[in-house]
Structures are given as structure tokens and as C-alpha cells.
Amino acid sequence: MPVAVKGAVALRKALKQYTPDLAKQLPKEMAVALKPVVKTARGYLPSQGSILSNWQPRENSQGRFPTYAANLVKRGIGYKTSPSKPNKKGFRSLARLFNKTAAGAIYETAGRINPDSIFVKNMNNKYSSTMKGRDKMQGRALYRAYEENNGKARDGVLRAIEKAKNSFDKRTMVRS
């Protein structure tokens, strides 16, 4: 779930300018919190031998539906600890989990809107995967892993930011 943290982008700029060692340490600590979610999500994806026949590699003339390549889909799940560009409302993400491939996105979100489709029924029968989360944060792999993480990743990222802030404040404190 998104959390609003004010001044974090300014903190990262100040860290980079005044304490480069803390600026390098912050993304590493954030990554420690995010890696378990990514590893768990990759484990929820089906292997190459157990994919549905619609996802088998085929010739280009047979349609545009993406094929499922397990190694590509698993490599497509990852995280970033660099701030994103501001969205329409001005918000940025300091750390984010992502799923880059089309086949991975289809597996993740299939059944969110239409759970009674034939494709979703076939997926549920073959993989016995479950959707976890709520509303737009509902999925089979990445969202499921995040939901089962019980907020540890979010708390770890927030702790890393707080730790960097406190370390920065201690180093830059003016003593009279």
C-alpha cells in the first residue's frame, strides 16, 4: 500500500550532496527489505513445462497474444530504489516493485475484472493460484507476495529512510 513520506526526495538529494556514503547505504537497506518480496513472487510464477497451450511459442502468423517464457517472466519481476518522476498529482515513489513483461502482467492480473472467463478458469485449474490483495492491488504473483509479506517490505523501506535521516541529522548537527 502507498505511504506518504514528506521530504524524502529532499533528504536523498542532501545525502548525495553532503554524505555520499549514506546516500549509497540507503538504497542498499531499501533493497534488503524488497528482495524477499521479489523472490517469493518469482516462486509463484508457473514453470515453462506447465504453461497453458495458448501461451506456447508459435509462429507470428498465429496471433499477437504474448507467449510465456518462464525465464523472461521471472527476470521481469524486480524492484527499484531510485525516486520516480512525479505523477499527475505530484507524487513520487521512492521504492517500487514492478513486473515488466506482458505475459507476467497477464498472469498477475487475469481474473481481476472477469473471473469467470475460460482463460481464467483454465489458469485456476492448472496452476491452482489464488488472487490476493484488494481492488487494484490484487494479483497472483507480485501482489500476492506483497500481501503475504504483511507490510514488512514497506516498514523496512520506511525504517531505512528514517535511519538515513537520523544519521544525516547527527552528522550535520551544529554544535556551539
What tens-digit pLDDT sequence spans the chain (176 residues)? 567 778 888 888 888 888 888 888 999 999 999 999 999 999 999 888 777 777 777 766 566 778 888 899 999 999 999 988 999 988 888 899 999 999 899 888 888 888 888 888 888 777 777 788 888 788 888 999 999 999 899 999 999 999 998 888 888 775 65
- The set of residues, in sequence order, having a beta carbon less than 8 Å from that of 118 and lying 6+ positions away, is none
Instruction: Please state, in angstroms and rounded to a whole number, the distance separating the CA atoms of residues 170 and 85.
Output: 29
CB 28 within 8 A of CB 15: no
Quote the cell numbers at residue 172. Answer: 550535520
Grid coordinates of 90: 505530484
* Nearest CA-CA partner of 156 in 97, 99, 90, 91: 97
Question: For the whole model, what pTM was predicted?
Answer: 0.83
- 124-129: long-range contacts, CB 8 A cutoff, minimum separation 24: 126/46, 126/50, 126/52, 127/46, 127/50, 129/44, 129/46
Residue type at 153 in one-letter notation? A
Cell of 6: 514528506
In this structure, what DSSP letter does residue 55 have?
A: G
